[in-house]
Amino acid sequence: MSAPFLEKISSNKSFEGELTKYKFKSAALGGLSANFNLFVPTNASNSNKVPVLVYLAGLTCTEDNGAQKGSFLGPASSQGIAILFPDTSPRGAGIEGEDADWDFGTGAGFYLNATNPKFSAHYNMYTHVALELPQVIEAAGIPIDWKRQSIFGHSMGGHGALTMYLSSPHKQYRSASAFSPVANSTKCPWGEKAFTGYLQGGVEEAKEKYDATELISKSKEPVHILVDFGTADNFYKQGQLLPENFLKAARDAGHDEFQVRVRSQEGYDHSYYFISTFASDHVHFHANFLKA
């Protein structure tokens, strides 16, 4: 089967590199049109394929939030690292109820593959991010070295980054980091709602593959994980994030502070002002593994 055609929507020079928005017809998302942004640093060429960081955004976001407000492009440019910004859900599937709430359906794909037949033709963000996007970008001849990938994200996207890293069967990603992640998704209202809707087996099915705390508690291999959350984050205060559960499970499973760092940042909230403050830290954290 031939790779889908990538249509360029826009392109902007930034920090000497190029941020390009593409769209294509996504098989993983049931044939719907999907957008993504890709930042490629200036040092990338066919004889110098560059490593890549995948950034997963949170609820209500698109491929633009991280690219426009994350402050990732400068550090990525100076480190010679590409950044891929996928969307957060399929768009326009036409499923009854998918636009009713901001925390479910459109803009809230939760980086899983749906097993509920109502959603399973379209809501396959796990396959879209882990398999489909690397394949279509590679087929388009863009000089990225897919053997050197790491993943990070915010909130629902932090959940996506941690769970995709920890559940990746072939160690697809070298490291993972997250800003204010939904870190114990089967124990918080956002996750309970998402899994009840998207998965035939509901929350119980999610424990196997889509809960970072469950996954780290069973993980025996060495890991490279950095998490930051803000103490003034209202979603943290409401019990949507539960980073302490993730940290405890990591320590109980034998992962020390060199493998899993969870940092509480005094006075910061859930916004991109918080993310951009620590953006450089996260890119440099990943550069250690992507350039090793």
User: H or E element: which one contains 191?
Assistant: helix 189-198
Q: For ligand LAXINWYW, which residue of 44, 50, 59, 226 counts as binding (CB under 6 A)? A: 59
Would residue 103 show up in a list of annotated catalytic residues for this protein? no
Interaction of residue 156 with ligand LAXINWYW, rule CB under 6 A:
yes
d(CA 244, CA 52): 29
Q: Distance of CA 86 to CAs 23, 83, 127, 183, 213, Å?
A: 10, 10, 12, 20, 24
Q: Does 102 bind ligand LAXINWYW (CB under 6 A)?
A: yes
Complex with ligand LAXINWYW: residue 4 or 107, whichever CB lies closer? 107
> Does residue 273 touch ligand LAXINWYW according to CB under 6 A?
no
Q: Could you confirm whether 270 is annotated as catalytic? A: yes
Q: How far apart are CA 190 and CA 244, in angstroms?
A: 17
Query: Amino acid letter at 225?
Result: I
Q: Which residue among the candidates 155, 175, 180, 219 is catalytic per the annotation?
A: 155
Catalytic status, residue 33: no
Residues 180/228, Cβ–Cβ less than 8 Å:
yes
Burial class (CB in 10 A: 0-12, 13-18, 19+), 132: buried
State which of residues 43, 120, 127, 271 lies at the interface with ligand LAXINWYW (CB under 6 A).
271
Stretch near ligand LAXINWYW under the rule CB under 6 A, chosen from 55-63, 117-125, 215-223, 258-266: 55-63
Determine if 155 is a binding residue for ligand LAXINWYW (CB under 6 A). Answer: yes
Query: Mind telling me the catalytic residues?
Result: 155, 233, 270
